[in-house]
Amino acid sequence: MTEQRESPHVVVLGGGLAGVACAHRLGDEGVRVTLVDRNDYHQFQPLLYQVATSQLPAEDIARPHRAIFREHPTVRIHTADVAEIDVENLALTLSDGERITGSHLVIAAGARPEYFGVPGAAEHAFALYSVADAERLRRHLQSTIRSTDPDEGALDVVVVGGGPTGVEIAGALTELMTALVATERLSKPGKITVVDRGDALLGAFSDKSHDYAHERLTRQGADPRLGTGVAAVHADRVEFDDGSTIATQTVIWGGGESAASVVGSATGLTTGRGGRIDVQPDLTVDGHPQVYAIGDVANIPAKDGTILPQLGSVAQQSGTWAADNILREVHGDKAKPFHYKDKGIMAMIGRNAAVAEVGRHRHQMEGPLAFAAWLGVHAMLLSGAHSKTDAFMSWAWDYFDRDHAATVEWSTAPQRIAWGDDSADVPHIIVDRGDSTTSAGSN
Ligand SMILES: Cc1cc2nc3c(=O)[nH]c(=O)nc-3n(C[C@H](O)[C@H](O)[C@H](O)COP(=O)(O)OP(=O)(O)OC[C@H]3O[C@@H](n4cnc5c(N)ncnc54)[C@H](O)[C@@H]3O)c2cc1C
């Protein structure tokens, strides 16, 4: 690289896996960064279902941005809601009207649930995109269990979507029900139904994995209902497109996602599938070489012309790559097309049950081997926010290995990730319950 020409100031919207990876890399090189996120913490989405089913406290999967960037003095954290993206002027407008302008803009605002216009879904279904969402669902399940008679089916849950999110939350819910029955908190478990329009669970996986997921979930007590679409969601029931209904107070939406809503505030951006920002192979936005879009908010082209999936490893790697391209440009070099190192696809169905497909030929694995693959990839994803990945590894092996009925506790999780006792590491999680706003854990 040649000598640096000018001092850049990179404004990053979003402190998820993509934004944190980008800011980290730039901070390592002493570049001035302003990272803007509505939350003062980073959240690790792959473990949200653990929070929703009382197996981990919300604090264990969230870490304050300030703690993450403690060793990076050039990275400034700004906690605020972004109202508008101004691509032309490389600026963000915050909800209080303040503007932040940089030499480069990195959009890493992530995704939100896509309800595909299903009536009542946005109002009545529980999404699982943030620790606040997971905490809201946990409290709802808790109060349902405490206040209702399971014999009347009050604990029955419908999970919409049979992809990894739907399968993982369904698996965790069956474990929760089993544990509550084993500890005599419930007389019988609630019924967990997983609905999908397709003809298999984990549709993007191989037939072998479809069968494995189906068999394991069924054995754990869930009821996969395939080839069925959701027509409407009500407060007390779900209607299906075949005219049938299931009475339930709990619908969990894992049925699709689209770009974060703030993308709609920007002009001059081309959006495609899922309302995501279409980017060039080097991750810049067409016509704006100083604007990058990375992670779940972007349609990132793969070498074969397809679009890369919305995965943690794509988000993290695209974040680091965008930072490297900014560094290249600042040093007078050409940006390079993003090269994704495929880590495979995987899902945890429960204790002792995981499935993974890795490598160029998508080698299929099940059980402990698949779990080991899952663990390796997730430890790497977590390493962006935590240096103590060994604490995560030891918690995860313990979770995977144990006899489940004994371990699920009801209000506070028994087996925490031993991140350490630094009080600066405690995130400030706000849960809007609809009626009031409280801090997580203050139940
Ligand atoms: C339930 C669930 C389970 C998953 N499991 C896995 C898994 O096992 N393995 C895997 O590889 N991937 C998994 N994923 C996908 C993975 O988590 C995502 O691909 C990844 O987190 C995307 O990172 P990101 O940085 O693009 O977005 P995010 O992590 O969503 O970060 C976006 C950030 O932008 C902020 N933001 C958005 N809009 C605004 C605004 N207007 N103002 C201020 N801030 C804003 C948000 O607060 C957030 O912090 C899962 C996803 C979910 C939802």
- pLDDT for 412 beyond 60: no
Q: How far is the CA of 243 from the centre of ligand 1 (A)?
A: 35
Please tell me if the CB atom of residue 257 comes closer than 6 angstroms to any atom of ligand 1: no
Q: How far is the CA of 440 from the centre of ligand 1 (A)?
A: 19
pLDDT in tens, 317-336: 999 999 999 999 999 999 99
Class of residue 218 by CB neighbours under 10 A (exposed 0-12, middle 13-18, buried 19+) = middle
State which ligand 1 atom lies nearest to the alpha carbon of 313.
11
Contacts 24+ apart (CB under 8 A), 322-325: 322/22, 322/106, 322/283, 322/292, 322/294, 323/10, 323/21, 323/22, 323/23, 323/24, 323/25, 323/26, 323/29, 324/25, 325/282, 325/283, 325/284, 325/292
The pair of three-digit structure tokens given for residue 369, joined into one six-digit string: 């081997």
Please tell me if the CB atom of residue 39 comes closer than 6 angstroms to any atom of ligand 1: yes
Please tell me if the CB atom of residue 48 comes closer than 6 angstroms to any atom of ligand 1: yes
Q: How confident is the model at residue 3 (pLDDT cuts 50, 70, 90)?
A: very low
- pLDDT for 349 beyond 70: yes
Matching CATH topology for 9-38+80-113+258-330 and 121-255+344-409?
A: yes
Q: How far is the CA of 129 from the centre of ligand 1 (A)?
A: 7
Q: Which pLDDT value is given to residue 158? A: 98
Fold of 9-38+80-113+258-330: FAD/NAD(P)-binding domain (3.50.50)
CA distance 323 to 19: 10
- pLDDT for 283 beyond 90: yes
Q: Give, using CA atoms, the residue closest to atom 53 of ligand 1.
A: 129
Q: How far is the CA of 258 from the centre of ligand 1 (A)?
A: 11
- pLDDT for 410 beyond 80: no
Please tell me if the CB atom of residue 385 comes closer than 6 angstroms to any atom of ligand 1: no
pLDDT in tens, 297-309: 999 999 999 999 9
Amino acid (1-letter code) at residue 30: G
Please tell me if the CB atom of residue 316 comes closer than 6 angstroms to any atom of ligand 1: no
CA 363 to chain centre: 25
Q: Under CATH, which architecture does the 121-255+344-409 domain have?
A: 3-Layer(bba) Sandwich (3.50)
Please tell me if the CB atom of residue 94 comes closer than 6 angstroms to any atom of ligand 1: no
Q: Where are the domains of the chain?
A: 9-38+80-113+258-330, 121-255+344-409
Q: Which pLDDT value is given to residue 48? A: 95
Q: H or E segment at 320?
A: helix 312-330
pLDDT in tens, 15-61: 999 999 999 999 999 999 999 999 999 999 999 999 998 888 888 89
Count the residues in the chain.
443
